[in-house]
Amino acid sequence: MFSKSCKYGIKATLYIAQKSQHDERVSLKEIADAINSPIAFTAKILQILAKATIINSTKGPNGGFEIDKVQLSKISIHQIVEAIDGNRLFDGCVLGLNSCNAKEPCPMHSEFVIIRKQLSETLATSNLLDVALDLNLGLTVLKR
């Protein structure tokens, strides 16, 4: 479904979101630790997210990553997936034809337009604030 990069990206963003709620900026090391990911690889993904202006990064002592608190409820998981994996999951052909084309559909088209729509909507309506709240309450976890 998602690439490993994307999974790390989602988890990292959620961790940053959780901390940003309480105005805490977090370091690369802390993030990688919290989500159980390879540190240098995580750095690359955070760079992508920073360029996509989903997160903010600051260099130097006490630097790290954060998300504008008032933006938390406006950033969706969909945006993260788009930034890292692109749109293939949302608009590519499930069976790998050059493009999705309802005029000349692949054999799974009618089945998958439904699933993709639901997937896309679910991700588009999942915002960082809501998801991070569950994390705060300990209802969900980022690593095991």
Query: Which residues of the chain form contacts with DNA (CB under 7 A)?
Result: 3-5, 8, 27-29, 37-41, 43-44, 46-47, 50-51, 57-65
Nearest-Å Rg of the Cα atoms of the chain is 17
- With CB under 6 A as the contact rule, the residue among 2, 52, 109, 133 that binds ligand SF4 is 109
Considering the complex, state which of residue 55 and residue 77 has its C-beta at the smaller distance from its own copies. Answer: 77
Amino acid at 15: Y
Collapse the DSSP code of 54 into the 3-class scheme (helix H, G, I; strand E, B; otherwise coil) and give the result: coil
Taking CB under 6 A as the rule, which mask of x and - marks residues 42-81 in contact with ligand SF4? ----------------------------------------
Length of the chain: 144
Considering the complex, state which of residue 6 and residue 100 has its C-beta at the smaller distance from ligand SF4. Answer: 100
Tokens of 3: 């690439």
Give burial (CB, 10 Å; 0-12/13-18/19+) of 10: buried
How far is it, in rounded angstroms, from Cα 27 to Cα 21?
A: 15
Give the footprint of ligand SF4 on this chain (CB under 6 A): 93-95, 97, 100-101, 105-106, 108-109, 112-113
